[in-house]
Structure 1
Amino acid sequence: MLRAINTVGYVGLLRPAPGTWGSLVAVLLGWAIEHWLGFLPLLVATLAVTALGFWSIRAQLGDSSDDPSEIVIDEVAGQWVALLFPAFGFWSRGLSMGVDLHMVWPGPVAAFICFRLFDIWKPWLVGRADRRHDAAGVMLDDLWAGLFAGLLTIVLAALYHIVFLGLI
């Protein structure tokens, strides 16, 4: 059961780049949650998967310093953190990311790309968490990557609106 949870229904077994597959599934699931249920359910789902990830990774790894690439529940948590930023932007304006697909796809796509960049590059706090070499570090590096990706997504959205639309 732990393996099914930590691999997110065995998505983590896909090759190559199981982290990217996990992130792709996460952004699609998160986008669907936000589209059909709203921002607040996405926030609750993010908190729930984060708590589940901390528990399940610790239960599977124990005191091991391994970070098996097949574990992708951390990618789901981090990707959803990144996705919360554009989702909040739409929600605060009374909109959903799924209302008008030709206008809203850049938010989730930017969150996905930015998250993968921070997760692979591992700058600053992301790398520090990754170097913990424990179960908590497995989750924390992706949560930091999600936070930084979310912030960068909002900066990119602001730049887009200023430069191309002359708005804010």
Structure 2
Amino acid sequence: MQLESKIGAAFDSLKKLIATLFFTGYAPLAPATVGSALVAVIYFFLFSSLEVVGWILVLTTVFFVGVYTAQGMEREWGKDPGRVVIDEAVGYLVTVAFLPHSLGLAIAGFFVFRILDIAKPPPARQLERLPGGWGIVVDDVVAGVYGNLLLRVGVELGVF
């Protein structure tokens, strides 16, 4: 029984590590912004050269892991806890997915995503009401889709 208890505690710690994006969710000021900045750096150095299949795998995995860990932490910490910032990872990655690799786009994606995540354009605000981890993550996906479309316009206009 002790082994099961230790495994359960280790699994809970792993969920917290993921849900808080390596504990950036504990930042005293703007944890969502700090978490988004971390993901932007990870994207630029690790994910920016992904092909279509790689992007699909990354987005799908991060989305479902995000929903699962956010839901687990919501049960422990209450409705849509500010420490949970895995949703920022999902939203930012959707914002920059399938776009050309450039530092300018990575930085623009960070600012565009943060603005849209805060503004919550329709239907993001309404989707926040979904139960559990779904409501925590899906609104960020919507912000990410809007952000991706805006960045695509910028690419087409030659801004990036």
Does the TM-score normalized on the shorter chain lie above 0.5?
yes
Alignment check: 8 A CA contact 1:85 1:154 kept:
no
Q: Which amino acid aligns with 1:7?
A: T
Q: Secondary structure at the match of 1:156?
A: helix
The runs of 5 or more residues in structure 1 that have no matched partner are 91-96, 98-103
Give the whole-Å Cα distance in 1 for the aligned partners of 2:127 and 2:76.
16
Q: Which amino acid aligns with 1:155?
A: V
Q: Does 1:50 align with 2:63?
A: yes
> How far did 1:23 drift?
0.6
Q: Which amino acid aligns with 2:103?
A: W
Q: Does 1:20 align with 2:20?
A: no
Alignment check: 8 A CA contact 2:43 2:93 kept:
yes
> How far did 1:42 drift?
4.1
Corresponding residue of 1:129: 127
Alignment check: 8 A CA contact 1:64 1:134 kept:
no
Give the whole-Å Cα distance in 2 for the aligned partners of 1:30 and 1:68.
24
TM-score (ref. length: structure 1)? 0.77
TM-score (ref. length: structure 2)? 0.81
Q: Cα deviation per residue 1:106-125 (whole Å; 9 max; x = unaligned)?
A: 21112111111110001111
Q: Secondary structure at the match of 2:123?
A: helix
Corresponding residue of 1:38: 50
> How far did 1:130 drift?
1.8
Q: Which amino acid aligns with 1:22?
A: G
Matches within 5 A, 1:58-97: 58-62=71-75, 66-86=79-99, 90=100, 97=101
> How far did 1:8 drift?
1.1
User: Percent identical across equivalent pairs?
Assistant: 25
> How far did 1:131 drift?
3.5
Alignment check: 8 A CA contact 1:65 1:133 kept:
no
Give the whole-Å Cα distance in 2 for the aligned partners of 1:47 and 1:55.
12
> How far did 1:152 drift?
0.7
Q: Cα deviation per residue 1:20-68 (whole Å; 9 max; x = unaligned)?
A: 0111111111121234x63343442222111101111122224986111
